[in-house]
A and B are shown apart, each in its own frame.
Chain A
Amino acid sequence: MKISNIVSRRNRILLRELVITDFKLRYQGSILGYLWSLLKPLLLFGILYIVFGEILRFGKGIPYYPVYLLMGVVLWNFFTEATRQGMTAIVSRGSLLRKINFPKYIVVFSATISALINLGLNIIVIGIFIVISGAEIQMEALILFPLVIIELYILSLAVAFFLAAANVKYRDVSHIWDVFIQAGFYATPIIYPISMVIERSEWVAKLMILNPIAQVIQDSRYLLTTSASQTLFSVYGTFTVYLIPLTVVAMLSIIASFYFKKRSKYFTEDL
């Protein structure tokens, strides 16, 4: 997986076409088409808001809870979409890979890029929500929010590469991952604020927020929704602790790229 290869002309052309194809095929035959990539998270948000915001009152005491909730849903949704699509990318393009030789990572890459485009569209919707509700924005967001999104993308990419390679050899992986995603949704402070956990058990909250996705979601909420959001910094009182989720992301990236590179030679035989 040489970096220079990613930008080589031929691979760029290929990546572009694969992303375009993915996008065209995704909502093939549906009337609303691309609109679905906006509607789906919004509808999910609507359900979650009614159940957890209005009925269970999880958002009590959280300013701008709708934006807060939407932010969590959109970022988690991106992680889910990127990893799921990345995971099945190699297997679903199996017939292609058996006919022509091109770098395998391009397929995984293109699958995560379609998810990234969707994330971009969804962030625009969040922007509209922020403007309408008058949520609180930090000036640092201009620099820090993109950095946080990059961190999330690298994490998703690493997980996608690992799962894609593992899924070729053991198809159980996709089922295990579905369960994992479901569990992760509840283990990450998305629908409930982390402050609710702190009230019950501080050390559990401290552990939960070390999860890189939780860190990304809380930071984004702090930057773009309300400064009342708990962040890794506010829970631990030091910035050094950021090294933990960042190291996790870095380690995962290294492990995933080595594993993918090792396995990718045999994809065409194992498929």
Chain B
Amino acid sequence: MSETPAISVRKVSKSFRLPHENHSGLKQKILSVGKGGKGYETQEVLKDISFDIQKGEFFGIVGRNGSGKSTLLKLLAGIYVPDAGEIKISGRLTPFIELGVGFNPELTGRENVFLNGALLGFSRQEMLDMYDEIVEFAELERFMDQKLKNYSSGMQVRLAFSIAIRADTNILVLDEVLAVGDESFQRKCIDVFEKYKASDRTIVLVTHSMATVEQFCDRAILLDDGMVKDVGDPRKIANEYLLLNTNSVKQEEDADEQQFMKSHGVQYEIVNADTSKPTRSFSHAATLSINIKWDSSEIHNIGVALIKNSGEYIYGPNTIADGIDVSESRRVSYKLKLDVREGTYKLLLAFFGQTAQERLYMLEKNLNIEVKNENQNWSGLVKLKHEWSK
């Protein structure tokens, strides 16, 4: 680590002035002089942020909406200047906050390629050399002399993406909005991420997808309310992020759950059955395993339910119904193959007395999980066991 970091962020703060009403006029300026009011509020978006990104690292930036991710990204890209602190970049950095920067609907596809290329730092000659490859990759050979406004949005994204992946700078800053598109496009994005990871370039990725973080990132940073919550191992960061999301929903009821868990000696952990590592992020068709133990003679029956975040109750068996007696063992392990549609899910953990009617408590906090499915080839919520014959 003696090498100079690719990006070094030291004690960076940034705040914005939010005008109370439209202040971009002299009238407001003149009117507010008499009142002595400031006419704006200051919002601190980033507070004293410090971290380093080493050369060749694939670095993730995660955080909830409004945590300051985008501001941090724009600071790294040099679009904003920090109010305090310092950002040092060693090497050349190309930001992709949006695809097709500078694209103009009135210009032809061809003209836009050169304009966009110039914004990425390519000369006309360099663009000429790459032109055929770009067009071929975008599969738009027949459309290059048409105006961009006649392109479908998919065609525009394809063209922009084909130019973007040519960027040859050693630091790339990517916003997750890049991965918006149909499945085949997302597939292409993932392929490019993989290619980047294999090269020795430094990649900074802002994302909401914990699966992407775990799959690609060497390290990640978790921002919360403008401050660094944690930096380090992507799996740890992903778990913290999911916890953060759950906690923020209903924190007031936590005390109640804690009380129940304490009085009944309840403990549980959610792991990936294939790796035995604790996680909240699963790839499609992975097996989730939840290990529960307790220390109370009241508990005779355990139920685990899976609910999609949009509200659909997917499945919920319990031990008694399945003919398993757990009242003596006081521990149980539940394995579930996640053959479900991609998305965020919630587990419910129910503790029953002698019968399924006598529910002692249901745990529902901190039980969010995420399922990632890059190439789902079926439709619906759940993949059911099925067979074809002829």
- Interface flag for A25 (CB, 8 Å): yes
- Interface flag for B16 (CB, 8 Å): yes
Q: How far is the CA of A99 from the CA of B122 in the complex (A)?
A: 17
- Interface flag for A270 (CB, 8 Å): yes
CB proximity of A241 to chain B, nearest CB, Å: 36
4 more CB-based (< 8 A) A-B contacts, given A97-B79, A100-B77? A13-B121, A17-B114, A100-B95, A171-B24
Known: A13-B124, A169-B24. A268 touches B79 (CB 8 A): yes
Interface string of A75-105 (1 = CB under 8 A from B): 0000000000000000000001111111000
- Interface flag for A9 (CB, 8 Å): yes
CB proximity of A98 to chain B, nearest CB, Å: 6
- Secondary structure of the A side of the interface? helix
- Interface flag for A14 (CB, 8 Å): yes
Interface string of B58-78 (1 = CB under 8 A from A): 000000000000000010011
Residues of A within 8 A of B79 (CB): 97-101, 268
Q: Contacting chain A: which of B101-109, B136-144, B266-274, B357-365?
A: B101-109
Q: Which residues of A pack against B, CB within 8 Å?
A: 9-10, 13-14, 16-18, 21, 24-25, 28-29, 96-102, 169-172, 265-266, 268-270
Can you list 24 A-B contacts (CB < 8 A)? Answer: A10-B121, A14-B118, A17-B124, A21-B107, A21-B115, A25-B104, A25-B106, A28-B106, A29-B106, A96-B101, A96-B119, A98-B74, A99-B95, A99-B97, A100-B77, A100-B95, A101-B78, A169-B24, A170-B24, A170-B26, A172-B26, A268-B74, A269-B16, A269-B80
**Chain B 237-283 interface residues, beta-carbon cutoff 8 Å to A:** none
Q: Which of A18, A99, A170, A172 has the most CB of B within 10 A?
A: A99
Q: How many residues of B contact A (CB 8 A)?
A: 30
Q: How far is the CA of A21 from the CA of B148 in the complex (A)?
A: 14
Question: Are the CB atoms of B121 and A268 closer together than 8 Å?
Answer: no
Question: Are the CB atoms of B119 and A102 closer together than 8 Å?
Answer: yes
Q: Which of A9, A10, A97, A171 has the most CB of B within 10 A?
A: A10
Q: Which of B25, B102, B114 has the most CB of A within 10 A?
A: B102
Known: A16-B118, A269-B16. A24 touches B24 (CB 8 A): no
Residues of B within 8 A of A266 (CB): 81
Q: How far is the CA of A111 from the CA of B4 in the complex (A)?
A: 40
**Chain B 88-126 interface residues, beta-carbon cutoff 8 Å to A:** 95, 97-98, 101-102, 104, 106-107, 111, 114-115, 118-119, 121-124
Q: How far is the CA of A10 from the CA of B126 in the complex (A)?
A: 12
